[in-house]
């Protein structure tokens, strides 16, 4: 059999609806890790959705309890043909964010795959069920084409707590180093830079969270008798936030940013990288963010500050009162070029220097650390060449995904280079209602991975 024949098997299966029907079964398991009472579904996803498939492909499978009580289980699997072979580690997560059932458009729902206008809707289609299903189906196609032999060893981790910050994964991987030892992590999550542009991300941005809090009194006081006399926490909080970022989205806490600006190797790999808008979900606003950077540099080579939520009083039930307090929950997305251990002290000094000594900082911590493999790493170059050969078009390499993933865990404990090959796009609404996967990029991803699996068995990287 030939490489072309393996790709043809993958294409035939996709066109016959095989990926879609596998994904429909996975989406129908409501495995959200963010809603109470769904714990049995987390285990069911692994036991019913994934394990039988892996066994059919010749994997040994174990489902482990999460070392952190109360968090979802972790599946490991391995398919060792010859200990001397190259070992590739796959990763995926089978948990999803909450369903947000009542917010989906008419006729759509989170826990059933619905095809409409060339989109596959359903919770987890993009994040992450569709992505690891693509990679496993591609493996199956190559095994079919090679008569059951791959020519490489494959290991797999599927966690069920990614949407709760991958709790327990770090301890788990540290405790199972030998089991998971591999030459490279090749896995999929997140968006391509544009729907039609195959992408390799060699790391992820990290996330740092903090609350800004103003507490002025125990309860609200009458807005007629006190408005104009006593300080308003909502207004003060708005000013404190405005001291962190100007009205054009430029971060004013300069100590949070990469000291030397966008590094030259990052700028080089991002040269010519164009981003697409998010379809109907969001627009790229010219003039928003750090002046002088390209759109790609803003999200792959720089840090972002986002106010995730803010509240004062009860917006759903306002009363005539000056509110007692105000709170904003904020997030910094940062690259490996900045050091988050200094973020809180830098913020404190900034607030004090701007007259906001009365604004408290609470719950400041890293949620997911940043990670990066050199975009010029031999494994990255190998994967890029393989995908370009399969798809006949240029692959865009980015130094890290704009979003977060627990890549740092695998770098720290297994020392593997990171090769993320995302199959989704930034308009997929993966954390809101109407999450969907585009069949076009999914088909390309299936072929790309069939090519990668085939090439792995031909000659080690
Ligand atoms: Zn997610």
Predicted local confidence at residue 460, as pLDDT: 55
Q: State the distance from the centre of ligand 1 to the C-alpha of 214, rounded, in angstroms.
A: 31
At residue 63, the 3 state secondary structure works out as strand
Rounded distance, CA 194 to CA 393, Å?
A: 13
**181 Cα–ligand 1 center, Å:** 25
List C-alpha distances in Å: 57 to 40, 54, 93, 136, 144: 25, 5, 19, 9, 10
Cα dihedral 171/162/396/26 (nearest 10)? 130
Q: Return all residues near 11 (Cβ < 8 A) that are at least 6 apart.
A: 443, 446, 447
> How far is the centre of ligand 1, averaged over its atoms, from the C-alpha of 343 (Å)?
24
State in Å: Cα 278 to ligand 1 middle.
16
Compute the distance from residue 81 Cα to the ligand 1 centre, in Å: 33
| pLDDT number for residue 17 | 98
State how far Cα 155 lies from the chain centre.
21
User: How do the pLDDT tens digits run along the chain, 461 residues long?
Assistant: 799 999 999 999 999 999 999 999 999 999 999 998 899 999 999 999 999 999 999 999 999 999 999 999 999 999 999 999 999 999 999 999 999 999 999 999 999 999 999 999 999 999 999 999 999 999 999 999 999 999 999 999 999 999 998 999 999 999 999 999 999 999 999 999 999 999 999 999 999 999 999 999 999 999 999 999 999 999 999 999 999 999 999 999 999 999 989 999 999 999 999 998 666 778 899 999 999 999 999 999 999 999 999 999 999 999 999 999 999 999 999 999 999 999 999 999 999 999 999 999 999 999 999 999 999 999 999 999 999 999 999 999 999 998 888 999 999 999 999 999 999 998 999 999 999 999 999 999 999 999 999 999 986 54
Q: How far is the CA of 422 from the centre of ligand 1 (A)?
A: 13
Residue 461 has a pLDDT of 47
Torsion angle of the four alpha carbons 22, 23, 24, 25, in this order, in degrees rounded to the nearest 10: 60
CA 163–ligand 1 middle distance (angstroms): 6
Between the CA of 382 and the centroid of ligand 1 the distance, in Å, is: 28
**Residue 115 — φ and ψ, nearest 5°?**
-95, 125
387 and 198 Cβ atoms separated by less than 8 Å:
yes
Q: How far apart are CA 326 and CA 29, in angstroms?
A: 39
As a whole number of angstroms, the distance between CA 93 and CA 245 comes to 34
- For 131, half-sphere exposure in the C-beta direction (CA atoms, 13 angstrom radius) is 29
Q: Could you tell me the distance, in angstroms and rounded to a whole number, from the CA of residue 192 to the centre of ligand 1?
A: 15
Residue 403's pLDDT is what?
Answer: 86
Instruction: Tell me whether residue 74 is exposed, middle or buried, using C-beta atoms within 10 angstroms of its C-beta: 0 to 12, 13 to 18, 19 or more.
Output: buried
Cα(261) to centroid(ligand 1), Å: 28
Taking the centre of ligand 1 as the mean of its atom positions, its distance from the CA of residue 229, in whole angstroms, is: 45
Query: What pLDDT is attached to residue 281?
Result: 72
pLDDT of 371 reads 93
| Cα 40 to averaged position of ligand 1 atoms, centre (Å) | 20
Q: If you measure from the C-alpha of residue 359 to the centroid of ligand 1, how many angstroms do you get, rounded to a whole number?
A: 31
> How remote is the CA of residue 190 from the centroid of ligand 1, in Å?
8
**How much distance in Å is there from the Cα of 148 to the middle of ligand 1?**
33
- Tell how far the Cα of 106 is from the centroid of ligand 1, in angstroms: 23
In whole angstroms, give the CA distance from residue 186 to residue 157. 11
The pLDDT value recorded for residue 278 is 60
What's the pTM?
Answer: 0.92
CA of 264 to the centre of ligand 1 (A): 30
- Distance (angstroms) between ligand 1 centre and the Cα of 430 equals 6
């Amino acid at each position: 059999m030939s490489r072309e024949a393996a790709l043809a098997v993958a294409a035939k299966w996709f066109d016959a609806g095989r990926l879609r029907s596998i994904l429909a079964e996975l989406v129908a398991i409501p495995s959200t890790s963010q809603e109470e009472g769904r714990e049995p579904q987390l285990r069911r996803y692994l036991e019913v959705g994934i394990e039988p498939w892996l066994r059919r492909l010749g994997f040994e499978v174990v489902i482990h309890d999460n070392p952190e009580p109360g968090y979802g289980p972790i599946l490991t699997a391995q398919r060792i043909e010859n200990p001397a072979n190259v070992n590739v580690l796959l990763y995926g997560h089978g948990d999803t964010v909450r369903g947000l059932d009542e917010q989906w458009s008419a006729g759509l729902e989170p826990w059933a795959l619905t095809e409409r206008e060339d989109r596959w809707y359903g919770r987890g289609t993009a994040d992450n069920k569709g992505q690891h299903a693509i990679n496993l189906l591609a493996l199956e196609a190559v095994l079919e084409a090679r008569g059951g032999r791959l020519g490489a060893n494959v290991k797999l981790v599927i966690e069920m707590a990614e949407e709760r910050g991958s709790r327990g994964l770090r301890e788990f991987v540290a405790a199972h180093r030998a089991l998971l030892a591999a030459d490279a992590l090749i896995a999929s999550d997140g968006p391509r830079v544009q729907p039609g542009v195959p992408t390799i991300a060699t790391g992820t941005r990290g996330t740092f969270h903090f609350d800004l809090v103003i507490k002025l009194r125990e309860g609200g006081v009458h807005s007629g008798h006190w408005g104009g006399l006593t300080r308003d926490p909502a207004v003060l909080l708005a000013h404190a936030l405005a001291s962190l970022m100007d009205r054009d989205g430029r971060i004013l806490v300069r100590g949070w940013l990469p000291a030397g600006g966008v590094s030259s190797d990052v700028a080089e790999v991002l040269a010519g990288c164009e981003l697409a808008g998010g379809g109907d979900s969001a627009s790229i606003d010219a003039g928003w963010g750090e002046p002088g950077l390209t759109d790609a540099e803003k999200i792959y080579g720089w840090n972002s500050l986002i106010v995730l939520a803010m509240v004062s009083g009860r917006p759903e039930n306002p009363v005539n009162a000056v509110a007692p307090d105000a709170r904003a929950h904020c997030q910094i997305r940062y690259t490996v070029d900045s050091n988050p251990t200094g973020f809180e002290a830098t913020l404190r000094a900034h607030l004090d220097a701007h007259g906001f000594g009365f604004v408290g900082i609470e719950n400041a911590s890293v949620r997911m650390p940043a990670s990066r493999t050199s975009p010029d790493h031999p494994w990255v170059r190998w994967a890029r060449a393989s995908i370009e050969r399969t798809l006949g078009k240029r692959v865009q390499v980015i130094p890290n995904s704009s979003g977060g993933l627990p890549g740092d865990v695998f770098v720290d404990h297994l020392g593997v280079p990171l090769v993320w090959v995302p199959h989704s796009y930034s308009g997929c609404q993966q954390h809101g209602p109407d999450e969907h996967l585009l069949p076009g990029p999914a088909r390309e991803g299936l072929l790309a991975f069939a090519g990668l699996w085939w090439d792995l068995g031909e000659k080690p990287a």
